[in-house]
């Protein structure tokens, strides 16, 4: 019996899967997480835990085994009990129970069952196909501010000539030439520096614009890769599915099934009904059908105590 596969199949659909006399596997959905030290995004997932105090048989696993192997519910319960006894013996010998894609069961020093989950399996169907996303660190370049060098001051030293008394002063054309040359050099130098400063500011502005565009594109890609799912499945929340059915019995004769339904309604079960003939040629009779596992299990306990100890829970979309 491939018990790991049966448990895994139920963990995709239900929050609680009970192994009679062992404990219950519980699932909890967690949202998208981010591990900052390695800049990795992880999709939503179901985390599996274990509670050794929930061990009463609710019929879910046994009924699933019966449906998958084509055997009766009673035989499925017997096979499950035999497997549980084998597990208990192995645990007492300090052996590990390794369940593929689920985890490991073992005894601690106080002889209590503890569970170590395998984290590589995600039981959240809405996250199927999603993997972790590693976002590379965005390196931001620091722009260097270029400090302009001080303008070289050209000092004009005028010639000092001692005037000769009695002679007219002559203008020195070479002195004027030096003066105008110095003025021209200062003007050209200032213009060149101004033009270079303008080009430098233009390059800085373009660099900042490109960096902003690249950063915006990267952030957009991250959002699309993390939160966009192609071909999303649209669930019809308005339709209420009754997938949990309480079985009173199955009858070879349709008239006997109708008689059983009338008796159940007379006992106070107004939702009692017959469904279509199954593959074994029997007509199943239900006490009623329920939308949640909790409601069905609560009603099943009451029925088993007060009316029919052999009543059992069928989980199936009909």
Taking the C-alpha atoms of residue 303 and residue 307, their distance in angstroms, rounded to an integer, is 5
Element holding 57 (H helix, E strand): none
CA neighbours within 13 Å on the CB side: how many for 249?
A: 17
In angstroms, rounded to a whole number, what is the distance separating the alpha carbons of residues 277 and 285?
10
Provide Rg for the chain, Cα atoms: 42
* CATH code 3.30.70.1070 region(s) in the chain: 244-315
The predicted model scores a pTM of 0.40
Give Cα separations from 66 to 62, 70, 76, 93, 138 (angstroms): 6, 6, 5, 30, 55
N-to-C CA span, the chain: 26
Tens-digit pLDDT string for the chain (318 aa): 789 899 988 988 888 999 999 999 998 877 656 555 555 655 677 788 899 888 888 889 999 999 989 999 999 999 999 999 999 999 999 899 889 888 999 999 888 899 888 876 766 655 444 455 555 666 666 666 665 555 545 544 444 545 544 445 555 554 555 555 555 444 544 454 454 455 555 555 555 554 556 555 545 554 554 444 444 444 444 456 788 889 898 888 999 999 999 999 999 999 999 998 887 788 999 999 998 888 888 888 899 888 888 888 888 877
> Which of helix, strand or coil describes residue 213?
helix
Report d(CA 119, CA 188) in Å as an integer: 72
Q: Which two tokens stand for residue 164?
A: 């000769």
CATH classification code of 244-315: 3.30.70.1070
For residues 257 and 310, is the Cβ–Cβ distance under 8 A? no
Phi and psi at residue 227, to the nearest 5°: -120, 0
């Amino acid at each position: 019996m491939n018990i790991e596969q049966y448990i895994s199949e139920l963990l995709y659909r239900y929050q609680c899967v009970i192994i009679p006399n062992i404990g219950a596997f519980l699932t909890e959905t967690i949202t998208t997480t981010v591990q900052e030290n390695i800049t990795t995004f992880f999709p939503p997932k179901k985390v599996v835990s274990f509670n050794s105090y929930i061990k009463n048989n609710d019929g879910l696993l046994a009924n699933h085994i019966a449906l998958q192997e084509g055997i009766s519910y009673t035989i499925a319960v017997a096979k499950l009990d035999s497997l549980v006894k084998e597990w208990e013996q192995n645990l007492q010998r300090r052996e590990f129970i390794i369940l593929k894609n689920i985890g490991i069961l073992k005894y601690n020093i106080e002889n209590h069952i503890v569970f170590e989950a395998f984290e590589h399996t995600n039981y959240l169907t809405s996250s199927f196909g999603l993997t972790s996303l590693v976002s590379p660190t965005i390196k931001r370049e620091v722009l260097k501010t270029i400090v302009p060098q001080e303008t070289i001051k050209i000092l004009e030293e005028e010639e000092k000539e001692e005037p000769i008394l009695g002679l007219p002063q002559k203008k020195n054309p070479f002195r004027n030439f030096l003066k105008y040359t110095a003025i021209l050099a200062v003007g050209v130098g200032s213009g060149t520096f101004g033009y270079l400063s303008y080009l430098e500011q233009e390059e800085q502005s373009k660099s900042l614009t490109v960096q902003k565009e690249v950063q915006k594109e990267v952030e957009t890609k991250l959002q699309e890769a993390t939160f966009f799912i192609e071909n999303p499945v649209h669930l019809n929340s308005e339709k209420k599915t009754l997938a949990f059915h309480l079985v009173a019995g199955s009858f070879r004769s349709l008239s006997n099934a109708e008689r059983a339904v009338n008796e159940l309604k007379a006992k106070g079960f107004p939702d009692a009904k017959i469904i279509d003939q199954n593959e074994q040629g029997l007509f199943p009779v239900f006490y009623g059908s329920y939308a949640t596992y909790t409601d069905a299990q609560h009603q099943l306990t009451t029925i088993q105590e007060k009316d029919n100890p052999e009543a059992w829970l069928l989980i199936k979309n009909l």
